Chain A
């Protein structure tokens, strides 16, 4: 299990990175934390000709408030995000999700940008990004463009980042006072990728839900909104009964991502249970 040969580029600046990306086009892969890419290279499932190591690139590792968004640089390590007071205070849903992501050593090295660029449907962060309608800043020598989370993910392990481009920043809307969040997942072992994920963001007016974002993960090729569950909550006083109705509404999501650890029926069961739990968490009863 040794990787195939490749050439290494080690840019120090964003400009140099852009040049390297432009030069190598689709023969190059970006290497961030390597926690998803290197296992695939060791299995020789991926054999890039050129690897562009972005670990030395200046200016991609930050967490800062920028207007009504919390901006996180793509190369910010999981551990930094997980422990950030700024994140906890402003985007509490990320902090909740991080309780379920990998193990300390993987988090030391893995990055939020690498995670989202990987587009793994069983990962927590894509679901969170969609739930919060995060914005992805995609950069290249041509400049920057911003993509909504729901458009960033194109399919399993596929994103809107084209050859020559890279993900530079993710912008999460700062939580409003009247927002409530919940996250739950099921993984067979602690720290494993999820078999199913449910994450919710509710905008409340008193006990009434003004708008709801309910997102599934791990059950289809991409995480996505559960519109029926959202409809069941919108404009309602959120109680146990409403939670149950919303959870039941997840039946409209047909799980297509199946493997030994989770078939469609199981994933449906999980999605229902996890949605209920995430909602209860959000309204403070979980």
Chain B
């Protein structure tokens, strides 16, 4: 562990060094052990696409991918993630080059306020990585840990379902 003064007027806070790859970019950072991954991404790296809705693991707004699996970024400390590969919603598509999932959410009206959306997208991405042709029931199961207060979920399920077919179509032919 290192001891460095990391805030101007603050105390010497014990920090730990982590090397992480986030959305393909390598970072070396010294972080306070208690810094939540959600705060690390949002505050240290400026990746504000990851949203924080409850900070107690229930809403799923903060879901990001760590080493290929989703985690609640509000329930993991950045200090635990040395050498991890992290992907956030910013890794999917860009405004002018949407990922098929983002496109499908757009077309099927799978979002209203958009606050749950990054977490939903990452959860959906994980599902399709593991199961490229899910049934609607499998999709429902997969997103059941993500709360959405706006949509009633139906259009989210449709969006993921149609994205799966879109993506399959693209790879099959």
Chain A directly contacts chain B within the complex, with at least one CB pair under 8 Å: yes
Chain A residues closer than 8 Å to B74, beta-carbon distance: 38, 42
- A2 vs B33: C-alpha distance when bound (angstroms): 12
- Which residue of B33, B71, B146 is within 8 Å of A8 (Cβ)? B33
- Which residue of B13, B36, B71 is within 8 Å of A108 (Cβ)? B71
- A10 vs B18: C-alpha distance when bound (angstroms): 12
A1 touches B80 (CB 8 A): no
Using A43-B56, A105-B145, A106-B57 as known contacts, say yes or no to A38 and B14 having CB atoms under 8 A apart. Answer: no
B145 touches A103 (CB 8 A): yes
Q: Which residue from chain A places its CB closest to the CB of B33 in the assembled complex? A: A8
- A27 vs B36: C-alpha distance when bound (angstroms): 21
A6 touches B34 (CB 8 A): yes
A39 touches B79 (CB 8 A): no
B71 touches A5 (CB 8 A): no
Is A7 an interface position by the 8 A CB rule?
yes
A104 touches B33 (CB 8 A): no
Is A79 an interface position by the 8 A CB rule?
yes
Q: Within the complex, what minimum Cβ distance (angstroms) separates B68 from chain A?
A: 10
Is B16 an interface position by the 8 A CB rule?
yes
Chain B residues closer than 8 Å to A55, beta-carbon distance: 80
- Per-residue contact bits, chain B 16-44, to A (CB 8 Å; 1 contact, 0 not): 10000000000000001110100100000
- Which residue of B57, B70, B79, B127 is within 8 Å of A38 (Cβ)? B57
Q: Which residue from chain B places its CB closest to the CB of A33 in the assembled complex? A: B75
> How many residues on the B side are at the interface (Cβ–Cβ under 8 A)?
33
Chain B residues closer than 8 Å to A42, beta-carbon distance: 36, 55-56, 74-75
B145 touches A106 (CB 8 A): yes
Q: Within the complex, what minimum Cβ distance (angstroms) separates A140 from chain B?
A: 23
- Per-residue contact bits, chain A 1-36, to B (CB 8 Å; 1 contact, 0 not): 111111110100000000000000000000100110
Q: Which residue from chain A places its CB closest to the CB of B80 in the assembled complex? A: A53
Q: Which residue from chain A places its CB closest to the CB of B54 in the assembled complex? A: A1
Using A104-B126, A106-B57 as known contacts, say yes or no to A34 and B75 having CB atoms under 8 A apart. Answer: yes
Using A42-B55, A105-B123, A191-B144 as known contacts, say yes or no to A7 and B33 having CB atoms under 8 A apart. Answer: yes
- A102 vs B72: C-alpha distance when bound (angstroms): 13
Q: Which residue from chain A places its CB closest to the CB of B147 in the assembled complex? A: A189
Using A43-B56, A103-B145, A105-B70 as known contacts, say yes or no to A38 and B123 having CB atoms under 8 A apart. Answer: no
- A38 vs B80: C-alpha distance when bound (angstroms): 13
Q: Which residues of B (52-72) have their CB < 8 Å from a CB of A? A: 55-57, 60, 63, 69-72
Q: Show the binding face of A for B, using Cβ within 8 Å.
A: 1-8, 10, 31, 34-35, 38-39, 42-43, 51, 53, 55, 79, 102-106, 108-109, 190-191
12 inter-chain pairs at a CB distance below 8 angstroms, sorted by A residue, are A2-B34, A8-B16, A38-B57, A43-B56, A103-B146, A104-B126, A104-B127, A104-B145, A105-B63, A109-B71, A109-B76, A190-B144
Shortest 8 CB-CB distances between A and B: which pairs?
A: A103-B145, A8-B33, A39-B56, A1-B55, A108-B69, A38-B75, A105-B70, A3-B34
Q: A43-B56, A108-B71, A190-B144 are in contact. List 19 more A-B contacts (CB 8 A).
A: A1-B56, A5-B34, A7-B1, A7-B14, A8-B1, A8-B77, A10-B82, A34-B77, A38-B74, A38-B77, A51-B33, A53-B77, A79-B69, A103-B60, A105-B145, A106-B57, A106-B72, A109-B71, A191-B144
